[in-house]
Amino acid sequence: MQASRLAIFGVAAVAAVGAGFLALHLGGPASEPIIISAQPVQPPIKLVEVLVASHDIGMGAGTEGGLDWMKWPEDGVSATLIRRDQRPDAIAELKGTIARQSFFAGEPIREAKLIRSDRGFMSAILPSGSRAVAVQIAPDTSAGGFILPNDHVDVIMTRARPPVEGQAVTYDTQTVLKNLRVLAIDQSVEEKEGERVVVGTTATLEVDAAQAEALTAAQRMADRLVLSLRSLADSVPGSPGYAAFLLEQQKRTTNTEIRLVRYGKTTNLTAGN
């Protein structure tokens, strides 16, 4: 009986040793633990401070109290922006400047869009060689009051022909100038707080020297001047219909002639379109 028990224990011991031997030689090295990151690791972004508008600044408004520093990615900062590490006193340097164009809150400040307050604002926004001429208007002669600054218009002159006895009064109508940019309506140089209609009595138009003379003469000659609002699609360079407008101008005579008769003396004036 004891011999059989010893045999069973011997077999069990040999099996245990064999199992341990197999596990030791066949198991292989333990694999390294896999670490899963919750978020991908991003390289650090270098930030610099640039000068921005702290609130909305309208065209013609002063910038004092409206400038502040904001952190921007250095890779997105162009040479036209004002950096604090390069111009730490920029806010003091730009004190008293006026916005040549509108700025939105958080928009970077570009010095090219600012002017000094000791210079005339209207003369600052005029392109080189251009003039500003005021024209008296009324809602019924300015597209019902829907003409706004930066719109483009044609100037139409209407005048009555000399009366003929026994005949009804007739009128001559002529487009004096085409595609002029409206600089301002009265004192408004842009829309105010989303206002879509600016009803005024004076429109300031951008013209060249010859057009300024013709427009001045037309105001003296005409019974009324009407501003005809043009679509942006054929009035602004780069718009779809602007090329067609230029071709039309080439087909027509370069200058429009206005004949002024005063005290029996006839004077011809030309107006470039």
How much is the pLDDT for 264?
Answer: 45
Which domain-ending residue is among 116, 131, 157? 116
Residues 77 and 141 in one domain: no
Q: What is the mean pLDDT of residues 101-130?
A: 81
Q: Find the CATH number of the domain harbouring 79.
A: 3.90.1210.10
Is 10 among the domain residues? no
Nearest-angstrom CA–CA distance, 41 and 57:
39
Q: Is residue 169 part of a domain?
A: yes
3-state DSSP assignment of residue 26:
helix
Dump strand ranges (E) for the chain.
47-53, 67-73, 97-99, 114-116, 131-136, 152-160, 171-185, 202-207, 224-229, 255-262, 265-272
Q: Where does residue 174 rank: exposed (0-12), middle (13-18), buried (19+ CB within 10 A)?
A: middle
Residues 205 and 223 in one domain: yes
Q: 91 or 167: whose pLDDT is higher?
A: 91
Per-residue pLDDT of 140-149, as tens digits, reads 666 666 788 8
- pLDDT by residue (tens digit) across 32-88? 666 665 566 666 888 999 999 999 988 777 888 999 999 999 888 888 999 999 999
Other residues' Cβ atoms within 10 Å of the Cβ of residue 151:
20
Is residue 29 in some structural domain?
Answer: no
Q: How far is CA 255 from the centre of its chain?
A: 32
Containing structural domain, residue 64 = 47-116
pTM exceeds 0.75? no
Are 110 and 177 within one domain? no
Distance, in Å, from the CA atom of 270 to the CA atom of 268, rounded to the nearest integer, reads 7
The distance in angstroms from the start CA to the end CA of the chain is 129
Are 126 and 109 part of one and the same domain? Answer: no
For position 170, what pLDDT does the model report?
A: 79
Q: Does 271 reside within a domain?
A: no
Residues 132 and 189 in one domain: yes
Whether 67 and 154 map to the same domain: the answer is no
Domain annotation covers residue 14: no
Number of structural domains found in the chain: 2
Helices vs. strands in the chain: H and E counts, helices first: 5, 11
Last residue of a domain, one of 101, 116, 131: 116
Residue 6 maps to a domain: no
Please indicate, yes or no, whether residues 67 and 142 belong to a single structural domain of this protein: no
Mark whether 128 and 206 lie in a shared domain.
Answer: yes
User: With bands split at pLDDT 50, 70 and 90, how would you rate the model's confidence at 254?
Assistant: very low
The pLDDT tens digits for 152-161 are 898 988 888 7
- Gap between the Cα atoms of 68 and 52, Å rounded: 6
137, part of any domain: yes
26 is a domain residue: no
Query: Average pLDDT of 89-104?
Result: 87
Q: Confidence band (pLDDT; 50, 70, 90) for 218?
A: confident
Torsion angle defined by CA atoms of residues 144, 146, 149 and 150, in that order, rounded to the nearest 10 degrees: -110
Residues 105 and 155 in one domain: no
- Give yes or no: residues 112 and 124 share one domain: no
Residues 6+ apart with CB under 8 A from 170: 160, 161
- Give the pLDDT score at 262: 45
Do 86 and 159 belong to one domain?
no
Summarize pLDDT for 3-33 with one digit per residue, the tens: 666 666 666 666 666 666 555 555 555 556 6
Instruction: Answer yes or no: do 239 and 150 share one domain.
Output: yes
Q: Nearest CA to 230 among 164, 158, 170, 146?
A: 146
Tokens of 35: 């670490």
Backbone angles phi, psi at 41, to 5 degrees: -80, 125
